[in-house]
Structure 1
Amino acid sequence: MSPQDPAAPGALDYDKLFAARLHAARVRPYLAAALFALHPVESRRVPTMGVDRYWRCYVSPAFVARTPVEELAAVWVHEVSHLLRDHHGRSDRLARERGLSGPAQRLRMNVAADCEINDDVYGDGLVRPPWVVEPRSLGLRPGELMEDYLLTFGLGPSTQLTAWLDCGSGADGLDRPWEWGPDGAHGLSGHERDAIRFRVAQGITGRPGTASKGWRRWAEEAFHPPQAWRELLGAALRSAASGAGAGQDYTYGRPSRRSAGVPRVVLPSLRAKPPRVSVVVDTSGSVCDAELGSALLEVAAIAQALGGRRDLVGVVSCDAAAGLVHSLCRGQGIPLMGGGGTDLRAGFTKALAARPRPDVVVVLTDGQTPWPSTRPACRTVVGLFPRGGGASSWKEDDPDHVPHVAPAWARVVEIGTSSRGR
């Protein structure tokens, strides 16, 4: 990102642009999932490169033509960092809380967001472009967050050289005329964006020491911090898995002690094994993208609780009808499709019909669903998305719909609250 040179003719050099992205993924492998999720859009109206909140990256052909591949790689990392760190959402919250409005204040937010990223993103194979804005260039202390920097500097002589700065609405939340908006092609949904953030955070925490201090801090915060509801859900899952017959099998690898009482006969012993878990995710129209993103985080947390055994976790998306059982070991993504009415009984039927049969069924829902009339053959844990005032304010197809009460045979935990599950 540098001040735009006079317009240069020619189409966007995609080979050069993609070579730079590949270089960025090689030197920052934990960001690869996010880098390749960005959809490039050629635009002569963007000064350099900029992103919107829907993970489109608008690219100036003239900027690509005059910028070395190594510096373009740094710009790729810079732009995707804005999106991973939710600078657009944080800017919107700051604007509401502090009454900040107008392009000048959004420019301050863009500069503050750049300072948060640029103080430790370069080095270790990623070159520092000569035009980047760093905290020390503005007399600020490194290692702070965007919100902290906004309190310590204003627009003036020290920031006049940043007037050209434009990383797009993905950096400060202010929509640009050259962006395609929420209805444009190739945008990512809310839960798709949350899934990418979680995969990047997982890559950073899984290989400690390879990421900078700022990225490690971000990754720790990207995972849900320990909360009472998370502990309750984990305890409920362990309790369900420890029931009679769950998570057990016979093995001849270690003969039973009773073999000594039966001469010339080898009896198998009973061994514990990780339980198989089917997760039914409510994808009806009453569940918002943020809650679907939370459901994806819970699915990943369940897989971690099983020692990383993704093959033991199956996911069923269900609104009024159930989709296929998706095994986590079959691919990186988790398809969550739906948007209609709600009847999770179909999801229970699909989950229980899987082979091998699950030991535990976990249901993530807002509770607006009919429940099976009889207890399933395995333990059931229900994670409820919180709804204010008990009954949900969301409207289903039936305007007289009243949320159903979760059955007594299920262990129920409210997700995102500190209330004690029953």
Structure 2
Amino acid sequence: MSVPARLTLDHTKLLAARYRAASERPYLATALYALSVVASDRVPTMGVDRHWRCYVSPDFVERTPVAELAGVWVHEVAHLLRDHHGRAARLPAADQRDAHRVNVAQDCEINDDLISDGLALPEGRMEPGLFGLPSGQLFETYLPALPPGPPRHNCGSGAHGRPEPWELPGSEGPSPLGATEAEALRRRTAESMRAHQRTRGSLPAGWRRWAEEILEPTVDWRQALAGAVREAAAWASGAVDYTYRRPSRRGAALRGVVLPTLRRPLPRVAVVVDTSGSMGDDELAAALGEVTGVLREVGIRGNRVAVLACDADVHAVSRVTSADQVALGGGGGTDMRVGIARALAAPERPGIVVVLTDGHTPWPDESPSCRLVAALIGPDAPQPPSWIETVRVPS
């Protein structure tokens, strides 16, 4: 029995498809031409590794029309531009092990944009509608909703992050792109998209969102809130005082004289939580957890932290060591001035007041004699007075 001859990759057809993709979507041209081609009989269709090498099955090229090959080119480069392998590495370990399910979720994130943009794709493509899911989401949102099943698609480690047997080692084959080069390529592509949108006015929603995030990255609210609380704690604890509990070492030079030493006290912190009806429990819990976690890191805990649940009145004052000890009450109107005033009226006045609110509240007329940080929860939170340190927490 004769063994069928292996197909030779039809480079002309493959490169004609890439030329078509780059011509019709010029904002992707630089990224498309950055991909180097590796022919492989082991790859099912086309796939990419994290080094921007595109592995191509000669049989797949033979049986697929140029228009659909152009769509696959765009699909594969989208995995790399959207840093799917980097994002997959941040998933929980159990999800990372299910690489092909991750790949399906990533395909759903990409293909709804490509289909709405009029790109032709081969049969069997994955899209959110097949699973009863809405369009326009990130793959991390799709993943938990996908049912388990046999492997369906494999776009390589440039997508799901796990090396495949048909991929070359990092230093072999065509010159690999490094992480710095890849990041520069993403930024250049995002700039091309912005220019395309200005001149032609049309860009798929997913690409528009991606380009905005690359060119104007959103600061993680957790980092911003943690930084504000740490800075406030450092400012408040910077105040020094003298104490005789630990005499100064310089006193040894003065017989019969006891000198005090300087101390740097830990500040007391009040967290005023808006529990009015407009606030969501999930956002409150997340923001409160971040605040108490940061306070623990800087050594402020126990009876130095008071949490006040407040809407139009103060409902509860509790001293906590972790966020899960807080009982949130209230649910009526909103006036954070009441909570701030109550915190500052405590016998042991706080050096820091952190307010967690949706911002729809009156504020004090002037800055109190302490550090005041407002964590504004939700996209429509009004801006407080300029003297209040502000961190925005998206819903």
TM-score by length of 2: 0.52
The amino acid of 1:201's aligned partner reads: A
Look at both structures and tell me which one has the larger radius of gyration over its CA atoms.
2
CA RMSD of aligned residues (A): 2.2
1:50/1:167 contact within 8 Å kept: yes
Residue 71 (structure 2) pairs with residue 74 (structure 1): yes
Partner of 1:211: 203
Provide the secondary structure at the position in 2 that maps to 1:58. strand
Equivalent runs, 1:255-404 vs 2, <5 Å: none
Equivalent in the alignment of 1:220? 212
Alignment TM-score, normalising by the size of structure 1: 0.48
1:129 aligns with 2:126: no
Against the structure 1 CA distance between its residues 136 and 226, is the aligned structure 2 distance closer, same or farther, given a 3 Å change threshold?
A: closer
Partner in structure 2 of residue 187 of structure 1:
176
Name the CA distance, whole Å, in 2 between partners of 1:81 and 1:214. 11
Q: CA deviation at 1:50?
A: 0.4
Once the two structures are aligned, what percentage of the paired residues are identical?
53
TM superposition shift of 1:120? 1.8
Amino acid in the other structure paired with 2:165: P
Q: Give, as a single letter, the amino acid of the residue that structure 1 aligns with 2:53.
A: R
The one-letter code matched in structure 1 to 2:217 is: P
Shift of 1:126: 2.3
CA contact (8 A) 2:100 2:152 kept: no
Indicate yes or no: 2:141 matched with 1:151.
Answer: no
Q: Is the contact between residue 8 and residue 62 of structure 1 (CA under 8 Å) also seen in structure 2? A: no
Question: Structure 1 pair 148/7, CA: closer, same or farther in 2 (3 Å)?
Answer: farther
Say yes or no: does 1:170 pair with 2:162.
no
User: Greater shift after overlay, 163-172 or 15-24?
Assistant: 163-172
Q: Which residue among 191, 195, 207 is the counterpart of 1:202?
A: 191
Matched, 1:38 2:35: yes
1:29 aligned residue (19, 26, 31): 26
* CA shift digits 1:116-169 (9 cap, x unpaired): 00012135552233221100011111111000001222214xxx5xx2411011
Q: Distance in 2 between matches of 1:133 and 1:224?
A: 30
Shift of 1:8: 6.9
What is residue 344 of structure 1 aligned with on the other side? none
**3-state SS in 2 of match to 1:169:** coil
Which one of the candidate residues 96, 104, 107 is aligned to 1:114? 107
Instruction: Answer yes or no: is 1:100 the counterpart of 2:89.
Output: no
Secondary structure of 1:168's aligned partner? coil
CA shift, 1:178, in A, is 1.1
CA distance in 2, matches of 1:100, 1:109: 7
Number of residue equivalences? 215
Residues 314-358 of structure 1 deviation map (CA, whole Å, 9 limit, x = unaligned)? xxxxxxxxxxxxxxxxxxxxxxxxxxxxxxxxxxxxxxxxxxxxx
Unpaired segments ≥5 residues, structure 2:
221-390
Runs of 4+ in 1 over 6 A off after TM superposition: none
Deviation at 1:95, TM superposition (A): 3.7
Paired position in structure 1 for 2:57: 60
